[in-house]
């Protein structure tokens, strides 16, 4: 967006101030809150590149773990001791926020999880993960968008649409339901009514671009700093360039910070998708410290920013971090890991019934590994996502099995993920 900044402070008031036909958000009715005052939100973080689940949440109680994961295996001893979750699993020490939330029963782990995809191509794997289809080749719409679309007409969550964070829209939230786009950026915004004129031209000549630009402008207005009575076309003083992309620790934190403000707004989107890159750790992956730990620290920072930024809305929020597949159980020839299968799903948020590692642990003996190389999947990522959508937004198992995750009737929603 044009104004920000290290510390986005989006404000509803700035949106209302702008007025005019340009900013459709200004016309959305403020909804009446439900009687129980519950106002659920779902944030999906896609970790692109395949997260090593065994280094994020290590099965330190498994006798074969240390041997397979070698120098990068997590351990409860030493200067960078992993943070124990229960007697068997420990989280990477780069994630103290997640460990604290777990202790407070606001975070959970599903281990040995995978989608239905069993090959090892990142790009097909990501397409399957994000499209929600049973196999690759579907790149038009994502399951999160279809979930919004499947809500009853007039449903508050559906009306408010989704939020896509980053310069391009992650597949998981692409589709027919309305999606706002936002990314931390800084360029001086145009003066005068250029935006309005371009929109007008698009409405006559290129409706697709009209919709896209309109949403981009809307999100931008929403994320503006408090500038009551001020000139909203002027950048905030000290506007900063983004601190690295969404593959850097600072970038993840910054993206979460801005997204939290948009999602926390009373009439902001209730679902959001973020994609963080860089998890493809073939070389010198590191364990408790190093490359992967730095990225995990960024993810942990994102959790923290969401917790802070969502304020009282945190209690109704579920965040789920998912990745296309896991990595080899045994480290490769360059102290990294190659493409694998089973990995973790990380859950956080006040809405999560936390404090649990949910796993039907398959074991790490050679015969127990998938194709004798990867952590065998015993949970389906789709079951987790279905459970969250059912618990947060009341989507039925039938709709989830048909429209949201096509051909997935055999994958039952995982229940009671939400408190």
Partner 1 sequence: MLVAFNRFGLGARPGDRDRAAHDPRGYLKAELRQPDIALISLDDPTYASLPGSTPAIQASMAANFQRKLDRERMAAATAQPAMASAQATPAQATSAQIAPAHPLPPPTAPAKPAPPIEATLFRAEAQARLDKAFRAEAGFVERLVYFWSNHFCVSVAKDNIVRASAGAFEREAIRPFVLGRFADMLMTVERHPAMLFYLDNQQSIGPDSRAGKNRRRGLNENLAREIMELHTLGVGSGYTQADVTSFARILTGWTMAGREGRLGEPGSSVFNANAHEPGDAVLLGKTYPAAGMGQAEAALNDIASHPATAQHIATELARHFIADDPPPAAVARLAKVFAKSDGNLRALAATLIDMPEAWSTPLAKMRSPFDYIAAIRRAAGPGPANDPGQSLNWLNALGEPLWQPPGPNGFSDHADSWASAEGMKIRLDIAWQAARQVKDVGNPNDMLDAVIGPSASPETRQAVARAESKQQGLALLLMAPEFQRR
Applying CB under 8 A, the residues found at the interface with partner 1 are 1-2, 48-49, 119-124, 136, 139, 164, 166-169, 174, 179-183, 185-195, 197-198, 200-202, 204-206, 208-209, 212-220, 241-242, 245, 247, 277-278, 280, 282-283, 332-336, 338-339, 371
Shortest Å, Cβ 177 to partner 1: 13
Q: Which is nearer to partner 1, 220 or 304 (CB)?
A: 220
If you count DSSP H runs as helices and E runs as strands, how many of each does the chain have, helices first?
Answer: 13, 12
Shortest Å, Cβ 168 to partner 1: 5
Shortest Å, Cβ 332 to partner 1: 5
Shortest Å, Cβ 16 to partner 1: 19
From 287, 261, 262, 291, select the one nearest 277 (Cα to Cα). 291
Q: Which is nearer to partner 1, 61 or 227 (CB)?
A: 227
Judging by DSSP bridges, how do beta strands 41-47 and 317-323 pair with one another?
parallel
Helix, strand and coil content of the chain, in percent to the nearest 5, comes to 35, 15, 50
Q: Which is nearer to partner 1, 30 or 204 (CB)?
A: 204
Instruction: Using the Cα atoms of residue 104, residue 110, residue 112 and residue 113 in order, give the sign of their dihedral.
Output: negative
Shortest Å, Cβ 204 to partner 1: 4
Q: Which is nearer to partner 1, 178 or 349 (CB)?
A: 178
Contact 302, 256 (CB under 8 A): yes
Q: Which is nearer to partner 1, 229 or 333 (CB)?
A: 333
- Residues whose CB falls within 8 Å of the CB of residue 310, separated by 6 or more in sequence, listed in order: 41, 260, 263, 264, 317
- Residues whose CB falls within 8 Å of the CB of residue 345, separated by 6 or more in sequence, listed in order: 109, 110, 113, 320, 321, 322, 379, 381, 384
Q: Which is nearer to partner 1, 125 or 354 (CB)?
A: 125
Shortest Å, Cβ 102 to partner 1: 30
Alpha-carbon distances of 226 from 14, 231, 256, 361, rounded to whole Å: 6, 11, 19, 50
Place of tokens 């200067």: 79
Cα Rg, the chain, nearest whole Å:
21
Shortest Å, Cβ 338 to partner 1: 5
Q: Which is nearer to partner 1, 4 or 359 (CB)?
A: 4
Beta-bridge partner residues of 347? 108, 320
Shortest Å, Cβ 215 to partner 1: 4
Q: Which is nearer to partner 1, 81 or 335 (CB)?
A: 335
Place of tokens 């250029």: 194
| Alpha-carbon gap, residue 416 to 419, rounded angstroms | 7
């Amino acid at each position: 967006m044009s104004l920000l900044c290290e510390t986005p402070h989006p404000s509803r008031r700035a949106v209302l101030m702008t007025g005019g036909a340009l900013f459709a958000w200004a016309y959305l009715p403020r909804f009446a809150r439900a009687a129980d005052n519950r106002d659920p939100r779902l944030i999906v973080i896609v970790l692109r590149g395949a997260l090593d689940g065994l280094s994020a949440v290590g099965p330190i109680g498994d006798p074969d773990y240390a041997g397979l994961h070698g120098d990068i295996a997590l351990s409860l001893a030493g200067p960078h001791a992993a943070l124990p979750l229960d007697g068997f699993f420990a989280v990477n020490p780069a994630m103290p926020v997640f460990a604290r939330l777990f202790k407070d029963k606001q975070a959970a782990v599903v281990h040995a999880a995978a989608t239905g995809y069993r090959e090892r191509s990142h790009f097909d794997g990501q397409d399957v993960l994000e499209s929600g289809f049973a196999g690759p080749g579907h790149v038009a719409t994502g399951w999160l968008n279809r979930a919004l679309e499947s809500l009853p007409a007039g449903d508050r969550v559906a009306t408010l649409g989704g939020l896509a964070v980053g310069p391009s829209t992650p597949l998981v939230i692409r589709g027919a339901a309305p999606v706002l786009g936002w990314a931390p950026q800084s360029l001086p915004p145009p003066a005068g009514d250029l935006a309005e004129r371009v929109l007008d031209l698009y409405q006559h000549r290129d409706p697709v671009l009209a919709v896209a630009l309109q949403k981009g402008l809307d999100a931008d207005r929403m994320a503006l700093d408090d500038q009551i009575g001020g000139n909203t076309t002027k950048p905030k003083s000290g506007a900063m360039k983004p601190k690295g992309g969404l593959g850097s620790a600072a970038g993840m934190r910054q993206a979460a910070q801005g997204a939290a403000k948009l999602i926390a707004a009373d009439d902001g989107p209730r679902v959001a998708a973020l994609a963080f890159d860089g998890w493809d750790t073939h070389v010198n992956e590191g364990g408790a410290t190093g490359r992967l730990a730095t990225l995990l620290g960024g993810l942990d920072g994102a959790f923290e920013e969401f917790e802070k930024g969502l304020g009282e809305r945190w209690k109704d929020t579920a965040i789920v971090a998912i990745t296309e597949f896991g990595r080899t159980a045994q480290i490769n020839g360059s102290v990294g890991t190659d493409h694998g299968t089973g990995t973790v799903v990380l859950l956080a948020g006040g809405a999560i019934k936390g404090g649990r590692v949910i796993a039907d642990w398959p074991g790490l003996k050679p015969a127990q590994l998938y194709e004798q190389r990867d952590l065998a999947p015993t949970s389906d990522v789709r079951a987790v996502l279905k459970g969250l959508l059912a618990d947060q937004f009341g989507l039925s198992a039938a709709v989830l099995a048909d429209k949201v995750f096509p051909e997935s009737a055999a994958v039952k929603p995982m229940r009671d993920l939400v408190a």
